[in-house]
Amino acid sequence: MISFDAAHKTVHYPQDRRFRIWVRPSILIGIAAAIALLLFAAWIEFGLVGLPYVSPIPQVYPNNFAGPHGFPLWVRYCHFFNFLFVMMLIRSGLSILMDHPRLYFNDDCTPGSEWIRFTPIKVPRDRIWTAKDDARYISPLVGTPGYRHTIGIARVWHFIDVHGFIATGILFIVMLLTTEQWKRIVPTSPVVLAQAWNTFVHYATFHLPPEPNGFYGYNALQQIAYFTVVFVFGPLAILTGIAMSPAVVNHFPRYPRIFGGRQSARSIHFLTMLSFFGFLVVHVALVVMTGFKRNMNHIVMGTDDANPIGMWLGFVGIGVVVLSWVVAHHLSWHHPRGLQHALKSVTYPMQLLTLNRLVPQQHYSDQQISPYFWPNGKMPVREDWKRLVESGFRDFRLKVGGLVENPVELSLAEITRLGHVEHITMHHCIQGWSGIAKWGGIPIKTLIDLVRPKPEAKVVAFFSFGEALYGDAYYDTQSIENVLKAECLLALEMNGRPLPEVYGAPLRLRVENQLGYKMVKWIERIEFVESEKQLGAGEGGKNEDDEYFDLLPNI
């Protein structure tokens, strides 16, 4: 149990912790029909002609076996580390998913259009319901780090482990293809498909087919399963993860369309997680059913015998994985800043060299504008903002100062006269939802040309009338390099109308190569400073300070 102050306890321990999985009936019917069809075909074949022929397993003579066999040390190590990384990816992924517990096959994320949701709540229409309100509690026994609104640390673990997952996968595939081990899992003849079906009929009708010794080879169904996990699920998980990057999507808008769109990529990413988990369950069940001690010796010791040492060392390995979850939980809640800095030390330099160099160049049409756009953030409660709302923001003056040669105070009318432009762009929230909208305003470059930052100014800070999740004024920062990029706006309009209060009136920031929390709403003033370390807790923004978000969220 983690001890929280009152503000944090309200967030992390919500009163409503109900959990419910709802799936669109047509999806359930389709899945059930596909499974029933396969089972029906298997039973029809069994009823008409009996069990199909599966070649008997010849006696294996190890000294004379010429094909690739056994599990070299690199296979055994990759097997362990893949299990370690995949389990942490699943658990941290579940924590991320619960921050927006809905999945879609459309990019507007309109409530009610999801194909699956992990919440009993239907979005109320009689009041403002933000994306933060929609987030659900998840137990730390299931997710890492668990609780609610902990997506910052969940992302830390997800990205730390994805580096290990990719490195392990690359090593495995390189070694696989440079040795004869590839012959064990890569089908080389269409006959394998027929053999796989025959094996499936045995399983579907509750008969065990002749079982090969996995030390020397797999049956056809196992071979296809291993091939799919290595060469389909793994790459697909990585590629769909990249398709959720705002920097990638907004520079290469055709890329996410390969998967049906940004939200379809998110759904496929989730389905690959289920596929990994489903494979793991079936794989473990078959290991137990077909000779547990011998199979454990195969993958732990690299030997083909029934000595119990492999089984006991296997249990030790599983214990190490479970212990890693305990350590991760402790670090998440007692040393979150250290985790944040550890990830930053790895990813920040890489992003500066790769994703952050991508210039937004997306082009959406008026017809693609989302019918619904999730509101988010805490609406300002300050009396001065409420008075500005009542006056239609006629008395508002944007103060731009700090390390500039020409500090200014500008009304909305004066800002508009600096040069009005419009862009239709896709918004990417760190919680997972997206939406397309038309934003009108002035390029930040125009504002920079007006105020003329001093040479020592490297960072632009945007301060909000609104509050952060745990209180205090919300702010965030951007490097001058990023606000000079194309389509970076100080927006006054949304979809051709003055910016609505709920979406950030009087002004909000648009930076299209990053996630939405960097796009400050309800902007009160702007300051040019030497470094983000001079503000708040020095992490670059209120979410970065309090929730351990990324300083540069290009993905």
pLDDT tops 80 at residue 2: no
CA-wise closest residue to 304 among 216, 418, 380:
216
CA-wise closest residue to 115 among 272, 276, 275, 264:
264
What are the extents of the domains in the chain?
A: 363-547
Give the number of C-alpha atoms closer than 13 A to the C-alpha of residue 126, restricted to the C-beta side.
Answer: 0
- Euclidean distance between the first and the last CA atom of the chain, given in angstroms as a whole number: 31
pLDDT at res. 494: 98
Using one digit for the tens of pLDDT, what is the confidence trace for 477-499? 999 999 999 899 999 999 999 99
Q: Strand, helix or coil at 470?
A: coil
Average pLDDT over residues 338-366: 93
Average pLDDT over residues 498-506: 97
pLDDT at res. 61: 61
Q: Regarding the domain with residue range 363-547, which homologous superfamily does it belong to in the CATH classification?
A: Oxidoreductase, molybdopterin-binding domain (3.90.420.10)
pLDDT at res. 211: 81
Sign of dihedral through CA atoms 167, 555, 375, 438?
Answer: negative
Q: Strand, helix or coil at 498?
A: strand
Using one digit for the tens of pLDDT, what is the confidence trace for 376-422? 999 999 999 999 999 999 999 999 999 999 999 999 999 999 999 99
pLDDT at res. 149: 83
pLDDT tops 70 at residue 238: yes
Give the whole-angstrom CA distance, residue 90 versus residue 521. 33
Question: 388: how many CB neighbours lie within 10 A of its CB?
Answer: 21
Encoded tokens for 362: 């997306």
Give the whole-angstrom CA distance, residue 17 versus residue 143. 14
Using one digit for the tens of pLDDT, what is the confidence trace for 446-460? 999 999 999 999 999
pLDDT at res. 60: 63
Using one digit for the tens of pLDDT, what is the confidence trace for 3-30? 788 888 888 888 889 999 999 999 999 9
pLDDT tops 90 at residue 289: no
Confidence of residue 358 (pLDDT cuts 50, 70, 90): very high
Question: Who's near 98: CB < 8 A, 6+ residues apart?
Answer: 118, 135, 136, 137, 138, 143, 148
Q: Give the helix/strand (H/E) hosting 402.
A: strand 398-402
Average pLDDT over residues 261-286: 96
DSSP string over 188-214: -STHHHHHHHHHHHHHHTT-PPPPP-T
Give the whole-angstrom CA distance, residue 181 versus residue 67. 9
pLDDT at res. 64: 66
Beta bridge partners of 464: 523
Q: In degrees rounded to 5, what are phi and psi of residue 527? A: -130, 140
Q: Which residue has the tokens 């190569």?
A: 513
Confidence of residue 119 (pLDDT cuts 50, 70, 90): very high
DSSP string over 86-112: HHHHHHHHHHHHTTS-EE-SSSS--TT
Burial 210-240 (b: 16+ CB within 10 A, else e): ebbbbbbbbbbbbbbbbbebbeebbebbbbb
Q: How far is CA 300 from CA 61, 78, 176, 324, in A?
A: 22, 11, 18, 19
pLDDT at res. 278: 95
pLDDT at res. 8: 87
* DSSP-derived secondary structure letter, 1: -
Encoded tokens for 351: 């992003």
Average pLDDT over residues 339-365: 93
Cα 51 from chain centroid? 44
Average pLDDT, the chain: 94
Secondary structure (H, E, C), 515-532? CHHHCCCCEEEEEEECCH
Percent of the chain clearing pLDDT 70 (strictly above)? 98
